[in-house]
Structure 1
Amino acid sequence: MEKKQFLYMLKLVPELLDEKNWTERETAIIGEHFCALEKLIEEDKLIMAGRTQNKDDTTFGIAILQVDTEEEARYLMENDPAVAKKVMTAELFPYKVALYNPRFTI
């Protein structure tokens, strides 16, 4: 069976757009979020993840998954610590990488 790709878009909950509202709890959850994404790389389920660099209400992050089913993608998105612990909201989209330049480094 061919794997399918999905993108989930993440947005901080509105009150966390202001860094003054962050506590140790939110910082720890974002650390868990990052570790969960790293684990998905190890499992060959995450193609890439990143976020915009602006600091206003238009900021967002994305994670691009390659998995067997939409149900699996939704499960991974909903169990992302940042989503499950309500620091971020997320929305899932079917996606397909059309072009990729392997010469770029991060």
Structure 2
Amino acid sequence: MTEWIYFIHAPREDFAATMTDEEQRVWGAHAQLLQRRLDEGSLILAGPTLGPVNTGICVFEAPDEDAARRYMAEDPTIASGIGRGELRPFRAAFLRPAT
């Protein structure tokens, strides 16, 4: 498996503080999907950047770029068109040991 990272670019600054009800519903579905992927073992880590620019980050494993693009496209935040996805290959080079 290869590691990949995708970024979720929010549609505006301070997005986390200004989400509409529909955007909150989509982000709830996004959180459920991430939990399912974590439980299944494909998700390595995910979370938002904080502050006025809320970019989501998702690091995961997929066998190839086509599978990675499908993985990203299935995210409700991207599938809905609310967020814009950006995919890149990724390699974790420095990891803190598990405690």
The TM-score with structure 1 as length reference comes to 0.83
Aligned CA-pair RMSD: 1.8
Q: Which amino acid aligns with 2:23?
A: E
Structure 2 Cα separation of the partners of residues 50 and 77 of structure 1: 14
For residue 59 of structure 2, the aligned residue among 50, 58, 64 is 64
Structure 1 stretch displaced more, 59-68 or 26-35: 59-68
For residue 84 of structure 1, the aligned residue among 73, 79, 93 is 79
* Alignment correspondent of 2:5: 7
Q: Is residue 89 of structure 2 the alignment partner of residue 94 of structure 1?
A: yes
Structure 2 residue matching 1:93: 3-state secondary structure = strand
- C-alpha contact (below 8 Å) 1:13/1:86 kept by paired residues: no
* Alignment correspondent of 2:28: 31
Q: Structure 1 residues 49 and 27, CA, compared in 2 at 3 Å: closer, same or farther?
A: same
Bigger Rg over Cα? 1
Residue 18 of structure 1, CA deviation: 7.7
Q: Structure 1 residues 26 and 99, CA, compared in 2 at 3 Å: closer, same or farther?
A: same
Unaligned runs of 5+ in 1: none
- C-alpha contact (below 8 Å) 2:10/2:84 kept by paired residues: yes
Q: Is residue 48 of structure 2 the alignment partner of residue 51 of structure 1?
A: yes
After TM superposition, where is structure 1 displaced by more than 6 Å over at least 4 residues in a row? none
Give the length in aligned residue pairs: 98
Percent pairwise identity: 27
The TM-score with structure 2 as length reference comes to 0.88
Unaligned runs of 5+ in 2: none
Residue 14 of structure 1, CA deviation: 2.5
